[in-house]
Structure formats: C-alpha cells, structure tokens
Structure 1
Amino acid sequence: MTAIGAGRTGPGLIVAICFSIAALEGYDIQAFGVAAPHMAPDLGLGPAELGVAGSAAMLGLMIGAMSGGWIADRIGRRPVLLVSVALFGLFSVVTAFADSGQMLTLARLATGLGFGGAMPNLIAIATEISPPHRRALTTTSMFCGLPAGGSLVALMAQAGGEALDWRMIFLIGGALPLLLVPVIFFLLPETRQVHEASAERKLARGLFGERRLPATLLIWVIFGLDLLITYLLLNWLPTLVVAKGFSASDGASASFWMNMMSVVGALVLGWSADRIGSRWLLTAVFLGLGGALWGLAVATGLSAVLACSAAAGFAVVGGLYVLYALAPTYYPGPVRAAAAGAAIAVGRLGSIVGPVIAGDLRAAGYSPGEVLGFLAPAAVATAVCVWALTTFCKPYREG
C-alpha cells in the first residue's frame, strides 16, 4: 500500500495545518460558551433554549463525523477537510447574524456538520503520518489547537467584559476558517492509504469483526462520557461561574484557564503515553478529573474555581486527545477514518446530552454546584472503562 502525495509536504507543516484547523474549531466551539451570557438576553433565550442551541452544533458534529469519515476513506482526507472547513466558517458568520433562537439553532447545526467532517480526518492523518512511538504526541499536538483556539476567544471575552460584542466573536471565527481553505487546497497532501480490495472495507466488519466488538463498545462509551463532561464545561462553565456569584470576567477567566491547561495536558499526556503507555496513565487522569470536578462544584472562592477549572481542563481534554491517538490503533487502515468518525459520532451523543442536561437542571432550580457535581461520577466511570479497554482489548496489527 502507498500513501497518496505524502512526500510533497513535510510532517511538520501537515501538523501545523491540522493544528490551525483544530484551533479554529476550538475557537468557534468555545465562542458559544463565552458568548452565551451576552447572547441569551439579546435574543431573549432562556436556559433550556440556550442548551438546545448549544447541543445543535453537537448534533451536526455527530452527523458530520459519521458521514465525513466514511466519505474520506473512499475519496480522500483533503477534499473532505476542504468542504468541512468552508462549511463551519460560513455558518459561523451566519451565527453572527442570528436574530432568533430558531435561526441560531439552525446555524449551529450547520456549523457542527463542518466540525464533524473535519475531526475524524484529523485523527486519521495523525495516525498515517506518524510512527507508532510518536503517534500520541503527534495527535495531541494537532488537537491541542482546540483548547488553544478556545483560550483565544476566552481572552477576548475577558477583555471585553460586560461590553462584549458576541456577534463580532462569531464574525472573526467565521472569516479565519474561510481564509484557511486555500492553504488546505494548495499545501495539505493526501495521506489516505491505498489498499487492495478487502472485506475490511465494510464498515460493520471493520468495527465489529475479528473480536473488535468489546473494544468498539468500550471506545464509544469512553468517548460519550468524556465528551458529555467536556461540552457541558465548554458551553456552561462561564455561565455556571457567573451563577455562583462571580462576574462575567471571572467566568471568562475560568474558561481561559480550563483551555490553557488543556493545551498543557494534551502535550504532557501525549508525550507520557508514548513512553509509558495509556492504561494506568489515563486511568489515573480520569480519576483525578472526578476530584477536580467535585472541587469545582464545592468551591466558593475565585482562586479555587480557577484552579479546579484548570485541573479539569488538563484531565478531560488532555485525556480525550490521548484517546484520539489510542482509538484508531484498534482498527484496520481501510476503515480507520470511518471508525474514528463512528467513535466521535456516538460519543457526540454525550456532547449533545451534556449541555441539554445543564440547561434542564438549571431551569429546574438546581444550583451551579449541583450541576457540576453531577459530572464527577461520570469521570470515575470513564476511568473504569479506559482500564477495561487497555487491559482486555488488543490493538489491530497489520498483516
């Protein structure tokens, strides 16, 4: 088997382009969370309506991930990335012009389709351009762009304070991806592997054949729990911090530190996983996440809120990116992007449910601490599933 066009662009530039795509996704995803306290009164949205709009992007992401990975395994990574980046850039601009909850929800749904189409292909590219002993670090280096982009928009929100123009945030978040489209077209090579015709190309066989059923189900549960926690925090952390009695600037600061330590977590955990393996590392990380979430739930001072937000970001997002490197190793090459897309798509059920749960709990009168405390058992369950996956399921071996 041979890679298509892999020699035209060095791995460093490929990682930089993929990092940029991830950073712009992270910017736009986090933009919704930091804009929410300003967006909701402007559009007349209650907590439940805001939760639905936040989850619409995750629904689109789920659909885009499943279809984008499947299509890319057949026609290539680059064309799917081009369309996906153009799509989320365009509808980020549309989000900026939303004048009702319905228009906002539809714009976020279409934006999510672009997010979803891009993500499994970034995972597949990382797997295909890196040797096994550097796979986790390559993947986490790409995906730490997500929290880096989130940190940027959090800083903008912190600087803007109560006068923040939420529409301008989405205009910027839409223009930058559109400017990246020609860079992808001219500089990003095709990394998809060309294989001989094989029964493995059938997605169901690739996911569940040769005793891969337990691994696939565990990966789906792990992604679902992690993404439930991640996207509840991304969409609701600033709002929950404000509801604890802090200012909008303090809420943006919590989001900033969560995203900044996500970058650190991605790089540190990726480097560590390549050297000591994922089993005990990820098990400990997700147990620590449970503690950080409980601490965030009961924190009453700003320093404690910021420290626990940072620890949660280090664990939940850093751990997720190591999972992005780990999951494709359980599948054969011809279905790798589709398998990654399936894991992201099924996992996105958690990212859809998370913001909705937060909105419903708040609408029902639950305190911010009670909403955050709900997440700690989910983190412990994630740790248990990671340990089971890495103990009882074996990665796929070519040949």
Structure 2
Amino acid sequence: MNFSTSSPGGRGRVLVPVLCWAALLSDGYDLFVYGATLPALIGHAPWFITAGAAGTVGSAALVGVLIGSLTAGTLTDILGRRRLFLACLTLFSTATLVTAIAPTFEIFAATRLVAGLGIGGLMPTAIAMAAEFASPAYRSRILGMVLTGPAFGGVLASTASLLLLEEFGFRPVYAFGAVPLITLLPLAFAFLPESRAFAVERSSEGRASKSPVAKLFGDGMGRATVGIWFVAICSMLTMFGVTTWLPQIMRNAGYPIGSAVTFLLVYSAGAIVGTLLASVLAERFGPKPLVLTGFSTAAVSLALLGTHPPTAVLMLLVALAGFGGLGTQNMLNDHIATFYPARFRATGLGWALGIGRAGAIAGPTYGAFFVAGGGAVIVSSLAFAVPALIGGVVMATLPRRPRATSADADNRVEAATPRSTEISR
C-alpha cells in the first residue's frame, strides 16, 4: 500500500504526528503507572512487597527503558521506523496486559522489565518520525505537541489510579494500559507510512555500510554528541529524582498537601503547558535557548522550594519544576531531532535517551542521600537544583547546529524534499 504526503490534506504530515502523539501518550501512561500504583502494591497480599523490592522493580524497568532506547534507536535506522514503531508499541502494551494478570510477583517484575524495553524503544522512533513528517516551518511546534504525549499519559495514569486503585486494586489500572493493542496498533498498522529518510538511506549502499552509531561522531560531531549525552543525564536525574522525592520533601517541610497524585498532576500539567509555550518560542529562537530556559527554571524553582512558601506559591513552583524537568527534556529532544540529520536521527535520539536513562536510574538514589531520614528541605531542594544548573552550563557550550558538513547538507535536503514523495510500506 502506498501513502502520499502530498495533497489532499498532506496525509503523512497530519497522520504521523497524531499517531506519534497517541503512542507517546500510551508510552507515558506505562512509564508513570508504576509509581502511581505503588501505594496499592506495597504490602499487597499475598505478595507483601516491601519498599525495597518495589524500588528494585522500578529500577529494573528503567534499565529496560535504557536498553530499549539504545537498541531500538539504532535498529530503527537499520530496519525502518515503521517496523520498530509497531514492534515497540506491541511489546510494551502486551507486557502491561500480562502485568495486570500476573499470578506472582516474579512475573509482575519480569513484565515491567519487558515493558521498559518497549517504552524505551518507542520514544526515539516516534520523535524521529514526527520530526521528519512535520512541516519544517512548524517543526518545533508540532514536536512540542507530540512531546506532550508522555505528560498526558502521566495525567491519565494518575487519574486512573485515583479512580480505580482504592476500590479495585492495581490490576485494572494496568489493564487499561493495554488498550492501545485494540485501538492504536490497528490504526498505526493501517495508516503509518515508512520514513522517507530510511528509504533513501537503504538505497545508498555507501551510507548504509557505516554504523549509525559511528555517524554520531563523524563530521566533527563527537564533542557535541558526548555533550548532549551528559546534558541528558543531568536532565533525567533532575526529573526522575524530583518526581520520586518531591512528596517526601514536602512532608519534611510540614506542608499539609493531599496525596502524591496531586503533585504528579500539577507537575505533569506544568510540563504540558510549558512544553507547548516553549515549542512555539522554539520556532523563532530555536530549541537550544528553551533548553537553557528550562534548566534555569528548574534550578530556581527547586531552590525556592526550600524557602517554605505559602501553599499557592508552592503549587506554582511545582508546576514550574514540571516545565523545568519534563518540559526541558522535551525541548532537548527537539534540539536533538533538529541537530542530527534524518538518516541517523533516530540513532542520535535513541542513544541520548538511553545514556540519559543512567541519570533516571541514579536520580532516586541520589535524592535518598538528601531526603531520606527527614533531611532539611533547603538541602534537599538545592541538591536537585545543582544537576539542573550543571546541565544548563554544559548545554550553553554546545553548538545549536552541526558545522557546515554533510550532516548540515542532509538537513537542507530533507527540508527541501517535495511533498509529493510517495511513501511505500
């Protein structure tokens, strides 16, 4: 079946971002659902999971995400975006369904690891496809909308837990995460086209002979690639550390805020609104200044949490931290997607997100040194402000674009690709 990105309607330019947003929403749901269901899992009969065991499962899932990002991010530039998109969507949705009916804790833990593989693989693939099919004039805005998917998924996971957890337990919440198997997967199979860049790359034997990972260090991009990886580690350490320990920081401060779900909702809302506003500004100024703004916002808002502000100000700071955390990561993804040429963009995204997961894995443990045991709030909040500040400083030293080489030429060729190009499945 052939799909045309030309008129009528520029089908690829409309359908691909919508499908990618829906996939990332599902991805975000699966990523956030574990934390949202922890209150019902810890002590659950007959498993009687301890907090330590629950933390181990959470870390194992993030290890799966790391492996998925590194593996799928590379394979999608070798086997094609469409195949990896469908495979990763199927993998994590199926694993989530098995999680819902897991008869033992060991099977439950194993399915979370498998789900992590699919979650990690889908994001670089979906971002790469959305970036390629978006109109160059509105690429940052479209990517910004697509990248709100994980935050909306977090809101949905929190809401489902709020409605179902207390009365029905954790199983229905996970079962809801398998809905993409009967909704999104058939739509993506029927309507998702293959990447133009992949088709061109596959027809070029000279380029195809070179490893996609090696290309990240070619044409003088090695320093920028390593810098991007370091920035991603700082971003994810801040984001995952804060989302893990923010409720405990507030309890140490004595604030009578409701449940942890409320914080997650406010944090996610801040990320959604901030990402949408930042993506519009990125079209004028480029994504790099917005990454710097996000890191600065995170550092300041987190530092101010230790000043014991009134509740209304506290909620505003949490929302700003959401933009500075998840919103900054979204803008960083935008920067990466525009920095690397289309022919190995998914590899660049996959490796940045994969290496960055080291920060995600370290974040909760890093926070434990400062938060656990009732540590001073000002110390805890400043501890999370520091990696955000470091990430911003390193980001400031990186180039906005690759130097004028073949990578830059590839980006210009991609932007000039005629809309009438036929895409073959």
One-letter amino acid matched to 1:397: D
The equivalent position to 1:349 in structure 2, one of 353, 358, 361, is 358
One-letter amino acid matched to 1:31: V
d(CA) in 1 for partners of 2:294, 2:231: 13
Shift of 1:256: 0.4
Is contact 2:282-2:290 (8 Å) kept?
A: yes
Partner of 2:230: 221
Is residue 91 of structure 2 the alignment partner of residue 54 of structure 1?
A: no
d(CA) in 1 for partners of 2:364, 2:268: 18
SS at match of 1:211: coil
d(CA) in 2 for partners of 1:338, 1:84: 15
One-letter amino acid matched to 2:345: R
d(CA) in 2 for partners of 1:102, 1:302: 41
Higher deviation after alignment, 336-345 or 201-210: 201-210
One-letter amino acid matched to 1:14: V
* Structure 2 unaligned residues grouped into runs of 5+: 411-425
d(CA) in 1 for partners of 2:103, 2:308: 36
Is residue 343 of structure 2 the alignment partner of residue 334 of structure 1?
A: yes
Tell me the alpha carbon deviations over residues 102-139 of structure 1, each in whole angstroms, 9 at most, x when there is no partner.
44432211111011121111121122112433222121
SS at match of 2:409: coil
Partner of 2:33: 31
The equivalent position to 1:397 in structure 2, one of 380, 385, 408, is 408
Is contact 2:158-2:261 (8 Å) kept?
A: yes
Partner of 1:7: 5
Alignment of 1:185-334 (within 5 A): 185-193=189-197, 194-195=200-201, 196-199=204-207, 201-238=210-247, 241=250, 249-299=258-308, 302-334=311-343
One-letter amino acid matched to 1:84: C
Alignment of 1:358-373 (within 5 A): 358=367, 366=375, 370-373=379-382
Is contact 1:89-1:178 (8 Å) kept?
A: no
Decide whether aligned partners of structure 1 residues 19 and 89 sit closer, same or farther in structure 2, where only a CA change above 3 A counts: same
Higher deviation after alignment, 191-200 or 303-312: 191-200
d(CA) in 1 for partners of 2:400, 2:350: 24
Decide whether aligned partners of structure 1 residues 355 and 247 sit closer, same or farther in structure 2, where only a CA change above 3 A counts: same
The equivalent position to 2:43 in structure 1, one of 41, 56, 69, is 41
Is contact 1:127-1:328 (8 Å) kept?
A: yes
SS at match of 1:44: coil
d(CA) in 2 for partners of 1:369, 1:41: 32
Shift of 1:364: 6.1
One-letter amino acid matched to 2:48: G
Tell me the alpha carbon deviations over residues 328-377 of structure 1, each in whole angstroms, 9 at most, x when there is no partner.
33323322211211111111111111134345766666467654442110
One-letter amino acid matched to 1:221: F
Larger radius of gyration: 2
Q: TM-score, normalised by structure 1?
A: 0.89
Is contact 1:60-1:109 (8 Å) kept?
A: yes
The equivalent position to 1:19 in structure 2, one of 11, 18, 21, is 21
Decide whether aligned partners of structure 1 residues 209 and 104 sit closer, same or farther in structure 2, where only a CA change above 3 A counts: same
Decide whether aligned partners of structure 1 residues 205 and 157 sit closer, same or farther in structure 2, where only a CA change above 3 A counts: closer
d(CA) in 2 for partners of 1:243, 1:330: 42
SS at match of 1:168: helix
SS at match of 1:397: helix
Is contact 2:296-2:324 (8 Å) kept?
A: no
d(CA) in 2 for partners of 1:172, 1:107: 15
The equivalent position to 2:393 in structure 1, one of 345, 359, 384, is 384
Is residue 157 of structure 2 the alignment partner of residue 153 of structure 1?
A: yes
Higher deviation after alignment, 167-176 or 368-377: 368-377
Alignment of 1:44-83 (within 5 A): 44-83=48-87
SS at match of 2:238: helix
Is contact 2:242-2:384 (8 Å) kept?
A: no
Higher deviation after alignment, 238-247 or 104-113: 238-247
One-letter amino acid matched to 1:20: A
Decide whether aligned partners of structure 1 residues 142 and 230 sit closer, same or farther in structure 2, where only a CA change above 3 A counts: same
One-letter amino acid matched to 2:72: G
Tell me the alpha carbon deviations over residues 157-212 of structure 1, each in whole angstroms, 9 at most, x when there is no partner.
44568557222211111233453211110011112412322347422431111111
Shift of 1:18: 0.8
One-letter amino acid matched to 1:220: W
Shift of 1:319: 1.8
d(CA) in 1 for partners of 2:245, 2:189: 35
Higher deviation after alignment, 265-274 or 192-201: 192-201
Is contact 1:6-1:190 (8 Å) kept?
A: no
Decide whether aligned partners of structure 1 residues 148 and 392 sit closer, same or farther in structure 2, where only a CA change above 3 A counts: closer
Shift of 1:378: 0.5
d(CA) in 2 for partners of 1:356, 1:179: 37
One-letter amino acid matched to 1:26: G
One-letter amino acid matched to 1:142: V
Is contact 2:339-2:400 (8 Å) kept?
A: no
Q: Percent identity?
A: 27
* Structure 1 unaligned residues grouped into runs of 5+: none
d(CA) in 1 for partners of 2:105, 2:366: 18
SS at match of 2:205: coil
d(CA) in 1 for partners of 2:375, 2:182: 41
SS at match of 1:390: coil
Is residue 182 of structure 2 the alignment partner of residue 144 of structure 1?
A: no
